């Protein structure tokens, strides 16, 4: 074996040894020569006095996404300020993959606020909630009882927003941590709009506002959230997949219409 071959083998061996050290967590070299720690005299430990006060271990700084959301939401004094606060919120990873922050649509003077789950692909492209097939069905459903997101009259208007302003990848269900960090914004959003009635469309808004799951059991049963009447309803996407459930949705709409009449009276 020649000198060149030995040099090459030594080089590859050194590289392998370096890679092994990196895998073990060594990320820097200190000193030009190795130190044999076994040859160093151990420094005897001094016993602690009985009344010795141990120094406090400083708390490691840690970002609390929910606390940050509460602070940002509380500081928003208007819908425009809330929109800006949500767009600037850095802790939700969903924002990195979204084209748009989907804030809301409709008339802020509406008596009815519809709370959905999260944007889909079309909502992400347009930057507005409920604009796909499910949104078109939702518009037709509420138009049947005289309510529209485009109405300038608050009595006949809708205001629509979602629990999450960014689309989850693959339209997956929102995770509990994502719901928790965005909930302060949702609560502030509802407080600023101040609707008479909230309609929770689907499992995610039901869970966010009440902590309960099971929209098929809850739908049509009035409850309360944030000091307001809350009506759970099935999501229009579910109705597109299960047309037979439209009869129950119509009953829910009639119940909403009756509640609005009673509140007006």
**Can you say whether the dihedral through the CA atoms of 249, 151, 163, 78 is positive or negative?**
negative
CA atoms within 13 A on the CB side of 11: 6
pLDDT digits (tens, 9 = 90+) for 195-232: 999 999 999 999 999 999 999 999 999 999 999 999 99
What is the mean pLDDT of the segment spanning 105-118? 98
Residue 144: pLDDT over 90? yes
Angle at Cα 160 formed by Cα 156 and Cα 165, nearest 5°? 170
Residue 147, pLDDT > 90, answer: yes
* Confidence grade of residue 58 (pLDDT, cut at 50, 70, 90): very low
3-state secondary structure (DSSP) of residue 221: coil
Q: If you ran DSSP here, which 8-state letter would residue 226 be given?
A: T
Compute CA 144 distance to the chain's CA centroid, rounded to the nearest angstrom: 32
Residues 6+ apart with CB under 8 A from 76: 82, 84, 85, 188, 192
Around Cβ 171, how many Cβ atoms within 10 Å? Answer: 13
CA 187 – CA 161 distance, rounded (Å): 12
Ordered by where they begin, the domains of the chain are: 65-264 (3.40.470.10)
Nearest to 256 by CA among 108, 104, 114, 129: 114
Task: Please tell me the least confidently modeled range out of 35-49, 77-91, 100-114.
Answer: 35-49
Query: Average pLDDT over the chain, rounded to whole?
Result: 86
Top-confidence residue, 117 or 53: 117
Q: What is the DSSP string of 89-157?
A: --S-GGGGG-S----EEE-TT-SEEEEES---HHHHHHTSSS-SHHHHHHHHHHHTTT-BTT-SSGGGB
- Does this model's pTM top 0.85? My answer is no
């Amino acid at each position: 074996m020649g000198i060149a071959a030995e040099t090459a083998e030594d080089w590859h061996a050194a590289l392998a040894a370096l890679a092994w050290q990196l895998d073990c967590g060594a990320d820097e070299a200190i000193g030009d020569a190795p130190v044999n720690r076994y040859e160093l005299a151990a420094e005897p430990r001094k016993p602690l006095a009985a009344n010795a006060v141990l120094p406090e271990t400083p708390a490691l700084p840690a970002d609390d996404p929910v606390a940050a959301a509460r602070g940002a939401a509380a500081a928003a004094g208007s819908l425009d300020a809330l929109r800006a606060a949500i767009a600037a919120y850095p802790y939700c990873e969903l924002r990195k993959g979204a084209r748009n922050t989907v804030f809301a649509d409709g008339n802020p003077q509406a008596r009815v606020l519809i709370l959905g789950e999260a944007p889909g692909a079309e909502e992400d492209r347009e930057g507005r909630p409920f604009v796909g097939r499910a949104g078109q069905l939702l518009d037709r459903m509420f138009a049947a009882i005289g309510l529209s997101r485009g109405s300038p009259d608050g009595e006949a208007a809708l205001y629509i927003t979602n629990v999450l302003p960014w689309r989850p990848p693959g339209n997956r269900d929102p995770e509990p941590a994502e719901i928790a960090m965005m909930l302060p914004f949702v609560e502030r959003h509802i407080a600023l709009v101040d609707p008479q009635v909230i309609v929770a469309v689907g499992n995610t808004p039901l869970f966010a506002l009440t902590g309960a799951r099971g929209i098929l059991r809850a739908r049509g049963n009035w409850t309360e959230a944030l000091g307001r009447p809350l009506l759970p309803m099935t999501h229009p996407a579910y109705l597109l997949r299960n047309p037979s459930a439209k009869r129950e949705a119509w009953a829910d709409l009639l119940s909403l219409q009756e509640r609005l009449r009673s509140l007006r009276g």
